[in-house]
Amino acid sequence: MSTKTVYFIEGDGIGPEVWGAARPVIDAALEKAYGGDKKIEWIELLAGEKAYKETGEYLPKATLDTLAKAQLAIKGPLQTPVGKGIRSLNVTLRQVFDLYACIRPIRYFEGIESPVKRPDLVDIVVFRENTEDVYAGIEWSSESPEAKKVIDFLVNEMGAKIDPAAGVGIKPITPAGSKRLVRRALDYALDQKRDLVTLVHKGNIMKFTEGGFRQWGYDLAEEDYAGKVVKEGEDAEGKVVINDRIADAMFQELLMRPEQYSVVATTNLNGDYLSDALAAQVGGLGLAPGVNMGDKLAIYEATHGTAPTIAGKDLANPGSILLSGAMLLENNGMEEASDLIINAVEKSLAAKRVTVDLASQITGAEQVGCKEFGEIILANL
């Protein structure tokens, strides 16, 4: 028998509801697939509002110390406390543990009615850089002494033209950060036999940050993947192709020709937009799994927010955290259990008894609560 330890954080808002509906499905899938030979030991960690009520801290030291030694965790959405001096609990976890790759596989589930004509053509994995760009940005407010000092330097020392009343921000993007993200995307494509990795950027405007990301990705492919990865237009037989697209053009491409793309590697803000836009084509964030992954620790998570307006009302969709759990199983040698969950979700959608977010997208659907939807998926295992 093999047992993996997975730490879980319920999350805020709808977090406890979606986790409560999803966890029994994950446990049942493991039991059905392996009959007790493969198990997960769940250990709860505190973060967010629950942690604050019990410890007076939103991210207790005990939680951070445990995660520093951990390999696997899963979490619900965390609310960033307003006016508490914390920028974002989610971003803090990513930066403290250097979870530099946000990986989001986006695919179509039969039965979902979409705002696009051919949602069934969407099967794309987005690799979003997690620790740089605007999410690690530094900014100063308009008319502040700091902004005036930076503007003065840029104008007088660097010859820039900036309105003296401007707010000022800096977005750092590095060769090392870009290359390790692109490396993960290329390794994934090679391992999963996907034939294309697309670098998405705004390098036509921001040539040394966004454009740097593009160039560093190509440099990595040429230096470390010779014979395995080729540029667009070269002989691609038996190899992975690497190409690039401008971010705004890529939005149109993913709406009109999603079948032409397979793996996307991109900067933080671009990845945020693109992954959410892709999810909207196939049912929304309620069916979108994700993981924030570093070299030592992977935190799987619901990709939606805390949805405080529906918290406690049994309206939330547990699909995102459940499919993130299935992703965790797949990535850790429990593919059979993961497949059981995916198939059960598909059966449940086909039966048209779904939560409110999905019922609004499926003609003739019956709305059920979060808890009942979890039970329906469980029965369909």
The pLDDT tens digits of the residues spanning 300-343 come to 999 999 999 999 999 999 999 999 999 999 999 999 999 999 99
Whether residue 267 contacts residue 210, with contact meaning beta carbons closer than 8 Å, is answered with yes
Where does the pLDDT of residue 73 fall: very low under 50, low under 70, confident under 90, or very high at 90 and above?
A: very high
Percent of the chain with pLDDT over 90: 90
Q: Are 197 and 241 in contact (CB under 8 A)?
A: yes
CATH 3.40.718.10 fits 1-105+285-380, yes or no: yes
Token digits of residue 323: 């499919």
Q: What is the pLDDT of residue 285?
A: 87
Catalytic residue among 58, 100, 135, 188: 135
pLDDT, tens digit, 9 for 90 and up, residues 291-300: 999 999 999 9
Go through the chain and tell me how many residues it has. Answer: 381
Q: Which residues are annotated as a binding site?
A: 88, 90, 94, 104, 128, 272, 317
Q: State the span(s) of the chain assigned CATH 3.40.718.10.
A: 1-105+285-380, 114-128+173-282
Residue 169 has pLDDT above 60, yes or no: yes
Residue 1, pLDDT score: 77
Contact between residue 242 and residue 221 where contact means Cβ atoms under 8 Å apart: yes
Six token digits for residue 261: 């793309």
Mark the binding-site residues for Mg(2+), compressed into ranges.
272
d(CA 108, CA 39): 29
Give the residue numbers of the binding site for D-threo-isocitrate.
88, 90, 94, 104, 128
- Residue 135 known to be catalytic: yes
- pLDDT tens column, 83-103: 555 668 888 899 899 999 999
Give me the CATH code for the 114-128+173-282 domain, please: 3.40.718.10
Instruction: For 13-46, give one letter per residue: b (16+ CB within 10 A) or e.
Output: bbbbbbbebbbebbbbbbeebeeeebebeeeebb
Q: 187 near 239, Cβ under 8 Å?
A: no
Rounded Cα distance between 363 and 47, Å, is: 39
Q: Which of 120, 248, 276, 339 is flagged as catalytic? A: 248
Which of 8, 111, 7, 19 is CA-nearest to residue 317? Answer: 19
Q: Is residue 355 within 8 Å of residue 323, measured between CB atoms?
A: no
**Candidate list 27, 98, 219, 272, residue with the active-site label:** 272
The whole-number pLDDT of residue 361 equals: 86
pLDDT at residue 86, as a whole number: 65
Which secondary structure element, helix H or strand E, spans residue 97, and what is its range?
none
CA distance 273 to 149: 32
Per the annotation, the verdict on 123 as an active-site residue is no
Judge contact between 258 and 281, C-beta under 8 A.
yes
C-alpha–C-alpha distance, residues 84 and 102, integer Å: 26
Would residue 202 show up in a list of annotated catalytic residues for this protein? yes
Of the residues 7, 133, 202, 225, which is catalytic? Answer: 202
Q: 272 an active-site residue?
A: yes
The whole-number pLDDT of residue 346 equals 94
Axis-axis angle for helices 175-191, 210-224 (nearest 10): 50
At 198-255, the pLDDT tens digits run 999 999 999 999 999 999 999 999 999 999 999 999 998 999 999 999 999 999 999 9
Q: Give the residues across from 106 on adjacent strands.
A: 124
Contact criterion met (CB below 8 Å) for 129 and 101: yes
Cβ-contact 351, 376 below 8 angstroms = yes
Q: What local confidence, expressed as pLDDT, does residue 110 receive?
A: 86
Q: Write out the DSSP string of 191-212.
A: HTT--EEEEEE-TTTSTTTHHH
For 90-122, b where at least 16 C-beta lie within 10 A, e where not — what string? bbbbbbebbbbbbbbbbbbbebbebeeeebbbb
